[in-house]
Amino acid sequence: MDLGIENKIALVTGSSRGIGKAAAISLAKEGAKVVICGRNQNTLDTTLTEIKKINQNIIGINCDVTEEKNLITLVNEIKTQIGEIDILINNVGGSINREGIEGTPIKDLNKTFDLNLNPAIKLMQLVIPNMKQQNWGRIINISSVYGRELGGNLSYMTAKAALNSITKHAAIDLAPFGILVNAVAPGPVSHKDGSWEKFQQNNSKEVVQNFINENLPIGKFGWPEPVGDLIAFLSSENSGFITGTCINIDGGWSKSIN
């Protein structure tokens, strides 16, 4: 399937490994000019080398996107090297504190918001003006099933729910300008050095199998490539009537109907 995004410029944050890396690979296969970024230079270089075997039109930039000044520098550097960003994948996120209401200090809640929301919001603000000017853009925010229903810890769940709200609001605002904004909500997707891989490594086979039996109707943990392909589709011309939605990709994990 030709997704119609050859030579489109795509920035994927947190893309040196895991879901972000899978998204970068899927976009590269479609001929997009992909920019990957991360904080670990060695991991970034390894991923860059791997993706260049698929598509030479890729660059890697070492960047801590939790610092606002770095985001301005990042976008300007991309503009100088290859041009304006057409596709933005906000993938950076994570947990700071893994407790409930009684064990979550306000400072940890704020740090979780700083990680999951602030980079996404600022990058959206930086790329939207050009997307408006060209009457075309795609923004995909990587959320979580924990942002849609009960699960995980308080700070992470709250941050991802907020990201879904931002996605919906921005989508309605930007739809008249040809800019489509959606979210993807992965469930238990296992990848190297990820939390679900660690869960499997740190527990007995019996505990892991019981977890699968109780939570995953598909019968196994997820893997990054299907998430990357979904992100690429939402980034494409073929997604032209999809905006303001959050799509679960979780092997049947979630229980809610809406």
Question: Considering only CA atoms, which of 26, 41, 197, 53 is closest in space to residue 16?
Answer: 41
DSSP secondary structure, 23-71, as one string: HHHHHHHTT-EEEEEES-HHHHHHHHHHHHTT-S-EEEEE--TTSHHHH
Residues 192/22, Cβ–Cβ less than 8 Å: no
- Strands across the sheet with 137-142, in order? 58-62, 33-38, 9-12, 87-90, 137-142, 179-186, 246-249
From 55, 143, 156, 243, the catalytic residue: 156
- What is the three-class DSSP state of 225? helix
CA distance linking residue 198 with residue 194, whole number of Å: 6
Is 156 catalytic? The answer is: yes
Beta strand pairing call for 9-12 and 179-186: unpaired
Q: Which residues are catalytic?
A: 156
